[in-house]
Amino acid sequence: MKLHILGICGTFMGGVAALARELGHAVDGSDQAVYPPMSTQLEQLGITLSKGYDPAHITDGTDEVVVGNALSRGNPAVEHVLDAGLRYISGAQWLSENVLPGRETLAVAGTHGKTTTTSILAWLLEAAGRDPGFLVGGVPENFGVSARLGGGREFVVEADEYDTAFFDKRSKFVHYRPVVAILNNLEYDHADIFPDLAAIQRQFHHLVRTVPRRGRLIVNGEEKALAEVLAMGCWTPVETFGLDGGFDWTATLHAADGTHFDVLHRGAVVGTVRWSLVGRHNVMNGLAAIAAAHAVGADMARAIPALSEFVSVKRRLEVLGERAGITVYDDFAHHPTAIRTTLEGLRARVGAARIVVAMEPRSNSMRLGAHADQIAPSLAQADAVVFLHRPELAWDGGKVVAALRGEGETVPDADALLAALARRCRAGDHVVFMSNGGFDGAPRRFLAQLAG
């Protein structure tokens, strides 16, 4: 079958493309923006990418068009698909019909940490000899690809609560019918489609309704919003995880930055983790993944020690390099809580060294201003912030800068941002680029600028 994927460079749709290619389909696709890491992965797989949504990119002989959720009515490619009567399907439905049947699906849901937790879980199952399939919303360094079929019983999927497609406004994760579901955390996000937290909680409860009695729910016991979801009705055994309370799964920290901790299951130590990830949030991600792997019978004695070899996902506080004594990181920041926990983890690692943040409010919720009042507090660990305030941003980034604990300034474009960083940064600094978009290539441009 010949597939054309609309929105192919999105992290989820890029994974769908990789799986379709592995199944033997002919695959090409188009996207408005083509940038790494997904464009690199797809090009290495020999998948042709076209920039823009010109209907001409959907060539004769295409059997089915897989439509990403970023596309809506009025998009020229979408209008062509409808007018021409082409067969079309969402990415989530395609996955549920073509990959998941006959597998034991483990779904990782939550506002934050989905990509990292999905990657940890896949690595644990790999270390336990289970040869899992997976689809991750990023590129796990241990595997080098964002998705694969695998030969084992389990398939691990990053389960997004965002809507499915222009013709299916349910959350993606209702398509997956998991036997094990991780509910990692829950906060307000996706202001472009959800009016309030209660609307998101309702979608999470739809996911809870699909998990069978023989399965397992792995739930963050510290999260009040998730307790409220379960109170709507729960028919599946629940195991909780957390650090501050009497939960089924917990940890004893031996390093303040979260790089060394014991894992306890109902009070008994089941393993010790020493890894490169930093921060309390990553300890929580690790606990959730370990609990899920345990729920499907993975050998913890084999799996947990392998976390010493786990390498985080690209663009999750990824170290791009060091030049002139300055360490440069790329981070997929999309929500104030994720920003705060990431910087707290980095602070625990670097001590008193200066942290400089280059920030682009890029997610739909960020651009709409849904989190505007929370951004400055989330940057409390930064000594200086350069805030990219593009002209189309509908709210005043200057108010964020004025409320910062440290120094700060706004700039109108990526060139001005790089110039501001050149003025501010000095040897010993840690510079973190935070955006869930392409950021006009600024992180690597800055690294090259330092080298030059």
Per-residue pLDDT of the chain (452 residues; tens, 9 = 90+): 999 999 999 889 999 999 999 999 999 999 998 777 778 889 888 999 999 999 999 999 999 999 999 999 999 999 999 999 999 999 999 999 999 999 999 999 998 889 999 999 999 999 999 999 999 988 888 998 899 999 999 999 999 998 999 999 999 999 999 999 999 999 877 667 788 899 999 999 999 999 999 999 999 999 999 999 999 999 999 999 999 878 999 999 999 889 999 999 999 999 999 998 888 889 999 999 999 999 999 999 999 999 999 987 767 778 889 998 999 999 887 678 888 888 988 898 889 999 999 988 876 656 655 566 778 888 989 999 998 888 877 777 777 778 788 888 888 999 999 999 999 999 999 999 988 777 888 999 999 988 87
pLDDT at 19: 97
Domains of the chain (ranges; CATH) run 2-93 (3.40.50.720), 99-309 (3.40.1190.10), 318-451 (3.90.190.20)
Phi, psi at 126, each rounded to 5°: -60, -45
pLDDT at 362: 75
pLDDT at 446: 92
pLDDT at 369: 55
The pTM of this model reads: 0.82
At a CB cut-off of 8 Å and minimum separation 6, what does 144 contact? none
pLDDT at 418: 93
pLDDT at 57: 97
Give the Cα separation of 249 and 290 in Å (integer): 9
pLDDT at 365: 58
pLDDT at 280: 86
pLDDT at 194: 80
pLDDT at 406: 82
pLDDT at 79: 98
